[in-house]
């Protein structure tokens, strides 16, 4: 008795992908801090140079949104380069 039996289904454990209580609470707390500080943050971010803004967003974003996997683009055309432009929004 007390020995594990193969095929025993009573103890299934946590479902795959389920987060523990601490992780869920921590993510909610970080989101709440971001929401409450958004007004102040917007004022601070508005004074940043473009390079500083991109650096700030790249450091903070992983704490708010999950990272996405890389996506590869395969085409039949020869592409030498892709240009991506960023413009600072004027108010």
Summarised one tens digit per residue, pLDDT across range 5-59 is 777 666 667 777 777 888 888 888 878 777 777 667 677 777 778 888 788 878 8
- What is the Cα–Cα distance from 88 to 49, expressed in whole angstroms? 9
- What is the Cα–Cα distance from 89 to 91, expressed in whole angstroms? 6
CB count in 10 Å sphere of residue 34: 13
- Coil, helix or strand for 82? coil
43: in domain: yes
Domain holding 25, by residue range, is 21-63
14: in domain: no
15: in domain: no
Rg of the chain's alpha carbons, rounded to an integer? Answer: 23
87: in domain: no
Cβ proximity of 88 and 55 under 8 Å: no
Number of domains in the chain: 1
Top-confidence residue, 84 or 11: 84
């Amino acid at each position: 008795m007390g020995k594990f039996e193969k095929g025993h289904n009573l103890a299934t454990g946590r479902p795959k992908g389920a987060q523990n209580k601490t992780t869920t609470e921590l993510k909610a707390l970080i989101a709440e801090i971001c929401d409450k500080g958004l007004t102040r943050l917007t004022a601070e971010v508005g004074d940043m140079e473009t390079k500083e803004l991109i650096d700030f967003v790249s450091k903070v974003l992983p704490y708010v949104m999950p990272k996405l996997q890389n996506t590869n683009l395969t085409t039949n055309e020869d592409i030498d380069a892709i240009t991506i432009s960023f413009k600072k929004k004027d108010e």
